[in-house]
């Protein structure tokens, strides 16, 4: 009976489909309408589930180049802190800027990178969570003072339009404001410093993009100026500048800067030497060095997005080693810690 009943149902169904086309058409149209309705609900839910986040970017850092890039990463603020969206765009190198991206609802952490090579961000493992992106490393040799690498972060909510992020350079600027020598009363009075240059030694060349100013563990010019290390820099003037003219009793006002990444400079530690600014030049035909441990004048640290303006007055002969400590009375050092954007031309009179 069950078999016959089952067959009867099958025959009945065939009969309905074959003898009542109007009924079949109705069923087919109903099915299609229901499917379209469900799909529209899904699409509507997807659209409504993402909102535009609009973020204003500002920076007072000097940007000389007329072209750059911006990468906006938006991360969920839950336990996993996974990447919600990523947008890459060109910009004209100037601030302020406004950028937009889609984001699902809820509180988010926005991370913005400026002037970052695209190939360095293609590794998914480096950017798929907030923790991992804060571990992304930058290397000073790949940076450029005319188009510096910059970062900024902020907590935002989907649909927000009032968020402002202050972009900061990863590098610190060591600005040489003035150079002068005074050998009066010495046997070599009247001598000047010729063929001079200034450079940084034991320079920290790596850092993470984390806003915690974490110093890296790679260094250049350890113990002195290294031509091999300098070859790794696309812009070697970041670490070394030649002085044109002779340094004498009249103050030489200069306007150039050297660059480094954040560093802790209180004391020498294994694998983490203390950075120094070195003035090198010839006095009476002999070469001398004046190494200045910058940390002694900055509270033991050099921070990103900060200018350290330095004036030097040389009063004695220096050392024959760029790492050897120079006698305190041989050089007078003036250091002003200033915001990056400070363009003060005021020098220190000793």
pLDDT at 279 over 90: yes
Collapsing DSSP to helix, strand or coil, 78 comes out as coil
Within 13 Å of residue 47, how many CA atoms lie on the same side as its CB?
6
Within 13 Å of residue 168, how many CA atoms lie on the same side as its CB?
23
pLDDT at 113 over 90: yes
Whether the link from the prior residue into 96 is cis, omega within 30° of 0, is yes
DSSP class per residue in 44-71: HHHHHTEEEEEEEEE--S----S-EEEE
pTM comes to 0.80
Q: Which fold has domain 51-169?
A: Immunoglobulin-like (2.60.40)
**pLDDT for res 133:** 93
**pLDDT for res 202:** 92
DSSP class per residue in 173-238: EEEEEEEEE--TTSTTTT--BEEEEEEEESEE-EEESSTT--B-S-EESTTS--HHHHTT-SSGGG
Q: Which fold has domain 172-339?
A: Immunoglobulin-like (2.60.40)
What are the residue boundaries of the structural domains of the chain, listed by start?
51-169, 172-339
Same fold? 51-169, 172-339: yes
Taking CA atoms, 137 is separated from 85, 99, 127, 217, in Å, by: 21, 24, 11, 11
- 166-207, pLDDT tens digit by residue? 999 999 999 999 999 999 999 999 999 999 999 999 998 999
């Amino acid at each position: 009976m069950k078999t016959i009943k089952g067959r009867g149902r099958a025959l009945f169904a065939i009969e309905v489909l074959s003898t009542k086309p109007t009924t079949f058409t109705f069923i087919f149209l109903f099915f299609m309408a229901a499917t379209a309705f469900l799909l529209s609900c899904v699409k509507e839910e997807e659209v409504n589930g993402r909102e535009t986040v609009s973020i204003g970017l500002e920076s007072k850092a000097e940007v000389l180049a007329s072209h750059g890039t911006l990468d906006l990463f938006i991360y969920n603020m839950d336990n996993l802190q996974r990447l919600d969206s990523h947008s890459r765009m060109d910009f004209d190198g100037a601030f302020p800027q406004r950028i937009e991206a889609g984001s699902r609802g809820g509180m988010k952490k926005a991370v913005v990178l400026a002037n970052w090579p695209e190939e360095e961000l293609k590794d998914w493992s480096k950017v798929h969570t907030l923790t991992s992106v804060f571990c992304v490393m930058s290397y000073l040799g790949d940076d450029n003072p005319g188009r510096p690498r910059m970062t900024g972060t902020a907590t935002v909510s989907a649909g927000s339009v009032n968020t402002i992020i202050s972009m900061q350079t990863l590098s610190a600027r060591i600005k040489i404001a003035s150079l002068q020598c005074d050998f009066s009363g010495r046997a070599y009075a009247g001598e000047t410093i010729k063929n001079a240059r200034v450079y940084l030694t034991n320079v920290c060349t790596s850092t993470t993009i984390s806003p915690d100013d974490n110093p890296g563990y790679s260094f250049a010019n350890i113990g002195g100026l290294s031509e091999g290390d300098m070859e790794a820099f696309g812009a070697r003037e970041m670490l070394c500048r030649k002085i044109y003219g002779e340094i004498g009793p009249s103050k030489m006002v200069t306007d150039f800067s050297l660059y480094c990444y954040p560093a802790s400079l209180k004391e020498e530690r294994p694998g983490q030497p203390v950075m120094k600014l070195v003035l090198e030049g010839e006095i009476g035909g002999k070469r001398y060095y004046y190494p200045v441990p910058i940390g002694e004048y900055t509270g033991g640290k050099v921070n990103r997005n900060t200018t350290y303006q330095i004036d030097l007055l040389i009063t004695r002969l220096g050392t024959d080693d760029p790492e050897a400590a120079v006698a305190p009375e041989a050089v007078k050092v003036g250091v002003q810690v200033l915001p990056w954007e400070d363009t003060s031309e005021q020098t220190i009179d000793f």
